[in-house]
Structure 1
Amino acid sequence: MESAESSGSPTGGQPAGPQVDKGAPKGGNTKKYVFMVVFPFVLVMMLVGIYAGSMHAPTPRDLPVAVTGTAEQAQPLADSLNATGGSPVEVRVVATADEARQLVHDREIAGALALPAQGSDDAVLYTAQAAGAAQVQMVQSVFQPVADAQQLTLEQQDIAPLPASDGMGVTTLFTAIGWMLAGYMLVTVLTSGAPELLPLRRLVPLLAGWSALVSALVWVIVGPLIGAIDGHVLPVLGLGWLSVFAVGLGQTLFARLLGPLAVVPGIALFMFLGVPASNIMMSIHSVPGFFGFLHHVLPLPAAGETLRSILYFGGDGVGPHLLVLAAWAVVGLALTAGVDLLRRRTSRGPDEAADTPSSSPAGSPDAQGALTSA
């Protein structure tokens, strides 16, 4: 009878019921709660600080422009503008108006002033609206006072106008932002919700398919549905795929190194810093110089500049930007594979090989059990 009562009690005679772990530290969730408060606070402060700090007072700094005309006209004007305090412009003298127009088209300069021939008062200002509406305004602010001071009539010629469907030229920026978010968010969601999909053998094909799907959907939205992009189907689809794939692999590396905290560097590099460095909403020559460096290394500027080149400049100059995106994909994949390999090696104990069935001695219990079961 006693044995029955004893066996009926799950604790061998002790009263059943929930057991309290008295050794558990009080306030064990404090770190979690602090993280829940600090994390969104940091993101908000980063967004406000980076955007407001970089774009609140745009002024030209070393804006590349050109002047063409006779030597007696052009060189003194270029020297005078280059001597302006604060270095708002960097002026070069070019030989002909055709050369000036080509430089503007190639986006080597933001604008060019063709001074009038002797006996004429008609000057021409060459700009490219598709290279940035804000940049065109800065060029005008530089050369309009010059024309007024010399009593010249300033004719403006836009050698790369924007289409009516994208009058402000922001479609490239918002499309590139969509690609960035697609690559970043997939890996972020998988990190917290489905970590079993994060090994590269599973993630790479998943990310490749996701990139193709998002690229197609984004093109459908900005193309057939909205009409902001006309034509260029295959280049836009290919660029979209590469952009999403590259950002996804970059975020995968951050996730391997930082876990859930990878959200912070991911959104900072792919979004918060990428927008001011994009040279689309604002000229790269009107934001702090650090963003000029970021313009050449971050994926958002690379994707935006490539898309703009495809849509409005016949694809000229896409090479360096495509290399940036490819580098993010290749380096992200290679370093992630390296991290995984290093962790597998360091996680192996020194006796792991001896624990495998093939290495068990013939008289060991494991070997005897295997023979008995056979």
Structure 2
Amino acid sequence: MSTLTPDRTAASGHLALLADRTPWRTVLGLALALTAALALLLSAFAWPATQTRPRDVPVAVVGPPPAVEQVRTALGSAQPGAFDVTAAVDAAQARQLVRDREVSGALVLGPGGPSVVVATQAGPAVAQLLTQVAQGATGATVPVEDVAPPPADDPRGAGLAAGALPLSITGAVAGAVLALRVRGPGRRAAGAVVLALLAGPTAVGVLHGWLGALGGDWLAESAVVSLGIAAITLGVLGIAAVAGRAGLVLAELTVVALGNPLSAAAGAPALLPDGWRELGQALPPGAVVAALRSVAGFDGTGAAGPLTVLVLWVTGGLLLLAVAGVRARRHGTYTAA
């Protein structure tokens, strides 16, 4: 039976200690990955902000055809590509177009002078932009009619803009926690549904009941937020279930790093570059904001599209969880994401 001398014992312990240490290439790889993540986050949040400007904002103009054409030409010359002008028969039709979400606002060229019709609930930034354009064109203050005014307690619409990020983070963090701490696709899905049912009324209680940032039907707003959180959480869970931890990271970045800055919560989709506005509305944060604006300010008009997006995310997440469950039963195990 051989014995180790003290020197050999110390050397063996030193080698074991070295073996337990993380390789330098792993440390450097993590540093590079985190640096890339920083660049991605800065780009995702700062780039849309620097590129925000009106693009093909639909505007109705009421007046004689020559005057309408003159407005169209003037707007095109002052801000090329910023506005898409549509002629309206009269002020009543223009108001209805704004209420129906077919245009963002209207300029009425009446005998007593021009006036503006806006809908602040569709996006305060666009309403302010149209008012400024009208005043700049006339050189004087023009009357403004708001067919979807903001809540009295939040005239700038800051509550919804500020609340979009917490909603996104809640759904994303919930998806990560359920994916890492709960075993079994059925239990993960159940956890997401229970969270959504609790979080929707809670969030609306804060935004509507306490802060006064929403002014629509309480139940409709709660349903929209619950559906939105379910869409984010189940989407994250579904992707993580079939793609593992790499899928979980990708889903988190998609929802938070892309979905939130492209949600147009502080502006409007028409202010984002082409392609990015469509992407933002196809992700749950943008769809939640759009649906909340519809139910809070327009009695649900225009909510069909964003609600469809949220339902598709919920359905997709559930299907992916089901696929993961079938795969787990086939192999007899279910591993955490």
Quick check: TM above 0.5? yes
1:95 match: 89
**Is 2:268 aligned against 1:318?**
no
Deviation at 1:145, TM superposition (A): 3.1
Q: Which has the larger radius of gyration?
A: 1
d(CA) in 2 for partners of 1:210, 1:275: 20
CA offsets 1:131-165 (integer angstroms, 9 cap, x no match): 212112221343333323xxx76322122111221
* CA distance in structure 1 between the partners assigned to 2:287 and 2:299 by the alignment: 16
Secondary structure of 2:145's counterpart equals: strand
Counterpart position of 2:276: 291
1:174 corresponds in structure 2 to: 162
How far has the Cα of 1:167 moved from its partner? 1.8
Provide the C-alpha distance between the structure 2 equivalents of 1:198 and 1:177, rounded to a whole number of angstroms: 28
TM-score where L is the length of structure 1: 0.77
Q: How high is the sequence identity, in percent, across the aligned residues?
A: 25
Is residue 2:96 matched to residue 1:107? no
> Which residue does 2:138 correspond to in 1?
147
Q: What is the Cα deviation at residue 344 of structure 1?
A: 5.6
**Deviation for aligned residue 1:200:** 1.1
Which ranges in structure 2 are unaligned for 5 or more consecutive residues? Answer: 333-337
RMSD: 3.0
TM-superposed CA distance for 1:302, in Å, is 0.9
Matches within 5 A, 1:67-86: 67-82=61-76, 86=80
> 2:199 aligned to 204, 214, 223, which one?
214
Alignment of 1:353-364 (within 5 A): none
Q: Which residue of 2 aligns with 1:63?
A: 57
Q: Distance in 2 between matches of 1:201 and 1:156?
A: 53
**Count of aligned positions:** 327
- The separation in 2 between residues aligned to 1:154 and 1:238, in whole angstroms, is 38
- Contact 1:250–1:328 under 8 Å retained in 2: yes
Give, as a single letter, the amino acid of the residue that structure 1 aligns with 2:153: S
Task: Give the letter aligned to residue 120 of structure 2.
Answer: Q
1:185-334 equivalences under 5 Å are 185-192=173-180, 194=181, 197-229=182-214, 232-334=217-319
Amino acid at match of 1:101: R
42, 49, 58: which one aligns with 2:43: 49
Secondary structure class of the residue paired with 2:101: coil
Residue 152 of structure 2 is matched in structure 1 by 164
Q: Deviations over 1:243-288 (max 9, x none)?
A: 1111111101232344333454333322222233323312222222
1:84/1:225 CA distance change after superposition, 3 Å: closer
Distance 2:254 2:263 in 1: 12
Identify which range, 274-283 or 221-230, moves more after superposition: 221-230
Q: Is the 8 A contact 2:63 2:109 kept in 1?
A: yes
